[in-house]
Amino acid sequence: MITTIPSLSAVLAAAGDLPAQGGYFSLFKWIVMALMVIAWLAICQWVDKDCMRLHLRRFTWNGVIVGSGALGVLLWLVIPWFFIGLLAFAITAFGAGYTYVYLRNPLVSPNSRVLTGEHMARLFSRRSREPESVPESIHLLRPGAGTRGSDLEIPPLASEDPLYEGYVTGQEVLLTAIERRAERLTLLPAGQAIALQYTTDGVTSEPQQLERRVGELVIAYVKQSAGLDVADRRRPQEGMLKVQEPSRRLTITVKTSGSRAGESLVVLIENLAERLTLETLGMTERQQEALKEFRRSEGGVLITGAAAAAGSTTSFYHMLRAHDAFMTNIQTLEQQPEADLENITQHHYEANDSDESVSFARAMQSIVRRGPDVVGVSLCKDKETAQLIAQSALEHTKYYVQMAGKDTFTLLARWAALVGDLKLAMAPLRLIFAQTLVRKICPECREAYRPDPELLRKLNLPADRIERLYRPPSKPLVDEKGNPVVCPKCQGTGYCGRTGIYETLVIDDELRRLVVSNAPASEIKQYCRSQKMLYLQEEALRKVMAGETSINEVLRVFRESK
Ligand SMILES: [Zn+2]
């Protein structure tokens, strides 16, 4: 809680010093004043919580509400006529509260608006029926912990529960994460506070500071709900939760670990929008065709890569899944499998301290010996493994190799250097994909505009052929009555979901010959460009032209990946 809110006793003590006027009225006045001040403090607390939940300027609003209330009290004390003083207090203190409500109501869904006719009606009808502790709550379940493997319902905590405060704030935080379509939320110790951050479509919000004690209670509440050991605050722990929504159950992964700075919590929320298929990953028809051809061919190596955390694993898995897992023997060798692949044998390679590269190659060798049809290798880093792959790919087995690198030429150079023998590296190589992710522009609130031809020319786009592009709304949205509203699809961010952008390098005989003969990079690039190869940024700008994303988003992604 915020410390700037004056304590009730201090304010009442100040009120007690009220100049007594008209003797026998003083007790009555005192009670009126106490009630008013209590109402004002309740408003202070509500605004503080509401700001936190809606991500409004919490400190500014606290200052406004607390400051105007204090001003009201001061006026009341100074004005010699009691009822005029009362009026002055009411106008300043409650006026500020009403201003806040007036400005926040359009930002929330109709059901969450306050002081409206419907809100009053709801308030009174609810009072008469059920006392509810948390007005908007989410319903948590622990998967498989109920009778006969069913999901166990986690009941709300009672107000006497020591974790009650963590429950209330934890519910707010989880609800906000779901409303924002966040795929991840983190609570990290930061000095005297706990920093709360949401990540939506790969973009992380500014940290919000939770009071340390409250943040720790939230972590404890989430751990207890997921069935983790609340008392153990050091050892890394992982658990699962589900959130019951009206029409679906969302799966949530909870991870905690401790350090000297304190305990941290990471919550990964299953993101339905991110469940992409190969067709919806964002590949162009030409790229899908190239992949199909690779699947049909015998043996061969395909390299897929990205700059850090740009969805490369998603594509890697989709490429493997595109094979018929019933008819084909598919195996993987992965350091950290990120998902379970049905009917695919996943070998989890755990790095140990003693000679990592030798043991990775040994694990690879035992897979090669089984003669699989398709093998996925994530993060191939050593020569021995790379050579094994290249040799085996010359025969029957097809390899999907995931490597780090932000464009196809970097990946090509890394692969060649890893194998250490240009001929062997190039012989089985067929395709290279480099990818990144951009946020898709929200189709509900996107705004068409006529782009500046100068900028288009700078970006190498055909300025004379582009009539309009799209961007997030440049002015706040309003409804038919002119009241400000927030786009329900994107919560006002202007973007909704992500799509992959791919740069593809098709390795043909001529390119193979150029690389093996050690041709200069400029000559290799020139040849690829003559084959209509597009660079990653050009592929991204094609999505801008198609209205799928914005120029600013593409510039942001490429600025960040530099
Ligand atoms: Zn929108």
Query: Which letter does DSSP use for residue 338 in this model?
Result: -
Please tell me the distance between residue 55's alpha carbon and the centre of ligand 1 in angstroms.
Answer: 18
Q: What does the pLDDT average to over 14-21?
A: 50
Q: Enter the pTM of the model.
A: 0.63
In this prediction, residues 381-390 reach a mean pLDDT of 91
Of 253-267, 279-293, 401-415, 501-515, the one with minimum mean pLDDT is 279-293
Residue 434 predicted with pLDDT over 50 = yes
pLDDT at 382 (0 to 100): 87
Q: What number is the average pLDDT over the span 320-324?
A: 87
Angle CA(191)–CA(197)–CA(201) in degrees, nearest 5? 155
Residue 311: is its pLDDT beyond 80?
no
Residue 542 CA to residue 554 CA, distance in Å, equals: 10
Instruction: Give the model's pLDDT for residue 300.
Output: 96
Cβ 172 vs Cβ 52: under 8 Å: yes
CB 143 within 8 A of CB 151: yes
Write the CB contacts of 201 (distance below 8 Å, at least 6 apart in sequence): 181, 183, 439, 495, 496, 497, 498
Residue 463 pLDDT exceeds 90:
no
- The CA 547 to ligand 1 mean position distance, Å, reads 14
Domain ranges of the chain: 8-107, 139-272, 285-439+498-560
DSSP 8-class letter at 20: P
178, 184 in Cβ contact below 8 A? Answer: no
What integer pLDDT is reported at residue 153 of this predicted model? 87
Would the pLDDT of 402 be above 50? yes
Q: Which helix (H) or strand (E) is 505 found in, with range?
A: strand 495-506
pLDDT at 478 over 70: yes
pLDDT of residue 112: 67
Q: What b/e sequence results for 436-452 when a residue is b if at least 16 CB atoms lie within 10 Å of its CB, and e otherwise?
A: bbbbbbbeebbbeeebe
8-state DSSP, 478: B
Where residue 554 falls among pLDDT bands split at 50, 70, 90?
Answer: very high
Distance (Å) from CA 197 to ligand 1 centroid = 21
Overall average pLDDT of the 348-364 stretch: 72
Mean pLDDT for the stretch of residues 99-107: 82
Looking at every residue in the chain, the average pLDDT score rounds to 85
Say how far apart CA 396 and CA 430 lie, in whole Å: 14
Please tell me the predicted confidence (pLDDT) of residue 271.
66
The rounded Å distance from CA 477 to ligand 1 centre is 9
Q: Residue 379: helix, strand or coil by DSSP?
A: coil
Residue 469 Cα to ligand 1 midpoint, Å, equals 16
Q: Tokens 């582009």 map to which residue? A: 466
How many Cβ atoms sit within 10 Å of the Cβ of residue 48? 20
Are 533 and 440 in contact by the 8 Å Cβ rule? The answer is: no
| Predicted local confidence at residue 428, as pLDDT | 96
Interval 92-102 mean pLDDT: 89
Give the pairing of strands 330-334 and 374-378: parallel
**Percent of residues in the chain assigned helix, strand, coil, to nearest 5:** 45, 20, 35
Average pLDDT (123-127) is: 63
Q: Can you tell me the distance from the alpha carbon of 279 to that of 171, in angstroms, rounded to the nearest whole number?
A: 36
Across residues 354-364, what is the average pLDDT? 73
**pLDDT tens readout for residues 525-542:** 999 999 999 999 999 999
Question: Percent of the chain scored above 90 by pLDDT?
Answer: 41
Ion ligand 1 residue ranges (Cβ < 5 Å): 442, 444-445, 487, 489-490
Distance in angstroms (rounded) separating the CA atoms of residues 422 and 416: 6
Decide if 547 contacts 469 (C-beta within 8 A).
yes
Please, which residues bridge with residue 436 across strands?
Answer: 501
Q: How far is the CA of 251 from the centre of ligand 1 (A)?
A: 25
Q: Give residue 527 CA to ligand 1 midpoint distance, Å.
A: 42
Centre of ligand 1 from the C-alpha of residue 544, in Å: 17
Q: With cut-offs at 50, 70 and 90, classify the pLDDT of residue 209.
A: very high
CA–centroid distance, residue 442 to ligand 1 (Å): 5
Q: Which of 463, 465, 485 is nearest to 475 (CA)?
A: 485
For residue 15, the tally of other CB atoms under 10 A from its CB is 18
As a whole number, mean pLDDT of residues 120-125 equals 72
92 contacts 75 by C-beta, under 8 angstroms: yes
pLDDT of 406: 87
pLDDT greater than 60 at residue 397: yes
Instruction: Report CA(444)–ligand 1 centroid distance (Å).
Output: 5
254-275 per-position pLDDT tens digit: 999 988 889 999 999 886 545 5
Structure tokens at 496: 């909704």
- Residue 496 Cα, ligand 1 centroid: separation in angstroms? 7
What's the confidence (pLDDT) of residue 279?
57
| 485 Cα: distance to centroid of ligand 1 (angstroms) | 11
Distance from the CA of 560 to the center of ligand 1, in angstroms? 24
How far, in Å, from the CA of 553 to the mean position of ligand 1? 15
Query: Cα dist. 488→37, 179, 475, 517, 550 in Å?
Result: 37, 10, 16, 57, 20
Q: What is the DSSP letter of 90?
A: I
Q: Could you tell me which residue, 50 or 524, shows the higher pLDDT?
A: 524
Q: How far is the CA of 349 from the centre of ligand 1 (A)?
A: 42
Q: What is the pLDDT of residues 487-503, one digit of tens each?
A: 888 888 899 888 899 99
Ligand 1 centroid to Cα of residue 470, in Å, is 12
Mean pLDDT of 57-63: 86
pLDDT digits (tens, 9 = 90+) for 229-251: 999 999 999 999 998 877 778 88
Distance, CA 315 to ligand 1 centroid (Å)?
27
pLDDT (average), residues 109-114: 66
Q: Which amino acid is at 414?
A: R
Confidence of residue 129 (pLDDT cuts 50, 70, 90): very low
Q: What's the 491 CA to ligand 1 centre distance in angstroms?
A: 6
**Beta-bridge partners for 142:** 152
Whether residue 444 contacts residue 470, with contact meaning beta carbons closer than 8 Å, is answered with no
- Interval between CA 447 and ligand 1 midpoint (Å): 10
Encode pLDDT of 157-189 as tens digits: 888 888 999 999 999 999 888 888 888 899 999
If DSSP codes are grouped into helix, strand and coil, which group holds residue 64?
helix
User: Tell me, what's the pLDDT at 274?
Assistant: 52
What is the per-residue pLDDT for 507? 96
- Given pLDDT bands bounded at 50, 70 and 90, which one contains residue 76? confident
The strand pair at 193-200 and 208-211 is best described as antiparallel
Over residues 140-162, mean pLDDT: 86
Residue 408 has pLDDT above 70, yes or no: yes
**CATH no. for 139-272:** 3.30.450.90
131 pLDDT tier (thresholds 50, 70, 90):
very low
Alpha-carbon distances of 494 from 446, 480, 491, rounded to whole Å:
7, 20, 8
HSE of 208, CA atoms in CB hemisphere, 13 A: 22
| Contact between 257 and 237 (Cβ < 8 Å) | yes
Between the CA of 97 and the centroid of ligand 1 the distance, in Å, is: 29
- Which helix (H) or strand (E) element contains residue 430? strand 429-441
pLDDT of amino acid 134: 45
Distance 326 CA to ligand 1 centre (A): 41
Gap from CA of 451 to ligand 1 centroid (Å): 20
What separation in Å is there between the alpha carbon of 153 and the centre of ligand 1?
34
Among 36-50, 170-184, 272-286, 409-423, the range of highest mean pLDDT: 409-423
Contact present, 415 and 379 (Cβ < 8 Å): no
Q: Is 291 exposed, middle or buried (0-12, 13-18, 19+ CB in 10 A)?
A: buried
Q: How far apart are CA 406 and CA 252, in angstroms?
A: 30
CATH homologous superfamily of 285-439+498-560 equals: P-loop containing nucleotide triphosphate hydrolases (3.40.50.300)
